[in-house]
Amino acid sequence: MTSAPPSPQAAMRLRELVFGAACAAAVRAAARLGVADALGDTPTSVTDLAAALDTEPRPLRRLMRALTCYGIFAETTDDRFEHTEMSRLLREDAPNSLRYISLWCTEPWTWEAWPKLDEAVRSGRNVFPDLFGKEFFDYLHSDASDSAKVFDKAMTASSRQSAHDLAEYLDLTGVDSVVDIGGGQGHVLASLLEKHPALHGTLLDLPKVVAGAEPRLQDGGAFSARARLVPGDCRVEIPVRADLYIIKNILEWDDESTRRTLANVVAAARPGARVVVVENLVDDSPSMRFTTAMDLMLLLNVGGAKHSKESMVRLMEDAGLDVEGVHLVNPYLHAFEATVRG
Ligand SMILES: C[S@@+](CC[C@H](N)C(=O)[O-])C[C@H]1O[C@@H](n2cnc3c(N)ncnc32)[C@H](O)[C@@H]1O
């Protein structure tokens, strides 16, 4: 133990970090109040903003001042506020908006789960069943419908860019049919059907998610003749035969669920069928702060983890898949290319 006093910078940084909840809460408050949507292209006084948002001006000023410390909004020399690159991302209409991701990462259940992180680290198990009496997705769909809506919108928002990137990445030569397992509201599938006019596709997800699938995939939608919606639990059964199975950002739950899902793919597919698993990895991420935070959140809610290249390959190989390569889809996403062993 050294007796040198800590540097003022180290002490200040640690003080700031342990108040991270205040920053997250301030972003959440701004997103819920719609501050970024109310602020236009010209700097605006807090009085005008407060009138537009129906809030008290003084606490709104304090909220704005806290956010400007992080580069979210900026204060002008004449006491008004204006957008920054980051604050614009909180607008609902921003291209690549992060409004719903910001809400999702700070939903009410997160504030009950984070204080239990030490318990989860000790036990290696998720804290959700003890806290809420049921597993995470059961809770979401039966007890927290507002949170479920935020989740679906957040996934759709983050899917939009990655769906485009994945559609660009995937070479579908020789592929007539595709299934997206745990495909959310179907953005990836819709992007693929749009790009490949002869392709047929199936979206498999939990019943309440499939019920809200994107309109182009539903009856009467632009792709309805080529799209099938299958409500179900991929850990129980995957009743779909296809040339290509896509599994994107779902195998980060507990390993047993991953084993069952991959076993169901292998049972449903013909030998030689192509399987592409798409994940963000902890051993190759452009933002380790974001990825490790997600990794801990997955431990808390579903007892899951972000994978390393090695852990993902091992689970796939154990399930009866031959992994032929791991490629970048975009800087955040890796595609594990595999075929079902013959
Ligand atoms: C993190 S989201 C990823 C969604 C989509 N694949 C994407 O990349 O945008 C996880 C998805 O898995 C779905 N899911 C969770 N449990 C499932 C289950 N047992 N069977 C099928 N889908 C499930 C969720 O409803 C959600 O749509």
pLDDT of 325 above 70: yes
Sign of the four-CA dihedral 285, 290, 296, 302 = negative
What is the residue-averaged pLDDT of the chain? 95
- Whole-angstrom distance, CA of residue 27 vs CA of residue 197: 41
Angle at which helices 255-268 and 309-318 cross, to 10°: 50
- Whole-angstrom distance, CA of residue 196 vs CA of residue 176: 9
Q: What is the mean pLDDT of residues 300-312?
A: 95
Q: Which residues line ligand 1 at a C-beta cut-off of 6 Å? A: 137, 155, 159, 182-184, 205-206, 209, 233-235, 248-250
pLDDT digits (tens, 9 = 90+) for 196-235: 999 999 999 999 999 999 999 999 999 999 999 999 999 9
Ligand 1 atom with the shortest distance to the CA of 158? 9
The C-alpha angle with vertex 230 and arms to 229 and 232, in degrees rounded to 5, equals 150
pLDDT of residue 288: 92
Percent of the chain topping pLDDT 90:
90
pLDDT of 96 above 90: no
Q: What is the mean pLDDT of residues 68-88?
A: 97
pLDDT of 308 above 90: yes
Q: How far is the CA of 204 from the centre of ligand 1 (A)?
A: 9
Ligand 1 atom with the shortest distance to the CA of 235? 19
User: Please, which pLDDT band fits residue 1 given cuts at 50, 70 and 90?
Assistant: low
- Whole-angstrom distance, CA of residue 33 vs CA of residue 319: 47
Q: What is the mean pLDDT of residues 270-293?
A: 94
Sheet bearing 44-45, strands edge to edge = 44-45, 80-82, 74-75
Q: Is 279 helix (H, G, I), strand (E, B) or coil?
A: strand
Q: Quick one: fold of 8-98?
A: Arc Repressor Mutant, subunit A (1.10.10)
pLDDT digits (tens, 9 = 90+) for 247-265: 999 999 999 999 999 999 9
pLDDT of 158 above 90: no
pLDDT of residue 260: 98
Ligand 1 atom with the shortest distance to the CA of 257? 19
Q: What is the mean pLDDT of residues 284-312?
A: 94
Region of poorest pLDDT, from 31-45, 138-152, 167-181? 138-152
CATH class belonging to 162-289+300-340: alpha beta
Using CA positions, which residue lies closest to atom 20 of ligand 1? 233
The C-alpha angle with vertex 304 and arms to 170 and 28, in degrees rounded to 5, equals 85
| Beta carbons of 254 and 260 less than 8 angstroms apart | no
pLDDT of 6 above 90: no
User: Please, which pLDDT band fits residue 155 given cuts at 50, 70 and 90?
Assistant: confident
For residue 248, give the nearest of 165, 174, 321 by alpha carbon: 165
pLDDT of residue 9: 94
pLDDT of residue 342: 84
Q: How far is the CA of 211 from the centre of ligand 1 (A)?
A: 13
User: Please, which pLDDT band fits residue 2 given cuts at 50, 70 and 90?
Assistant: low
User: Token digits for 247?
Assistant: 């599994």
Name the residue ranges covered by the structural domains of the chain: 8-98, 162-289+300-340
Sign of the four-CA dihedral 118, 124, 128, 131 = negative
Pocket test for ligand 1, best of 166, 189, 250 (most atoms within 8 A of CB): 250
pLDDT of residue 5: 83
Q: What is the mean pLDDT of residues 156-162?
A: 82
Q: Cβ contacts of residue 203 below 8 Å, gap of 6+? A: 179, 180, 183, 186, 189, 210, 213, 217, 227, 228, 229, 230
Q: How far is the CA of 28 from the centre of ligand 1 (A)?
A: 24
- Whole-angstrom distance, CA of residue 250 vs CA of residue 238: 14
Using CA positions, which residue lies closest to atom 9 of ligand 1? 159
pLDDT of residue 152: 84
Q: Do domains 8-98 and 162-289+300-340 have the same CATH topology?
A: no
Q: What is the mean pLDDT of residues 300-328?
A: 97
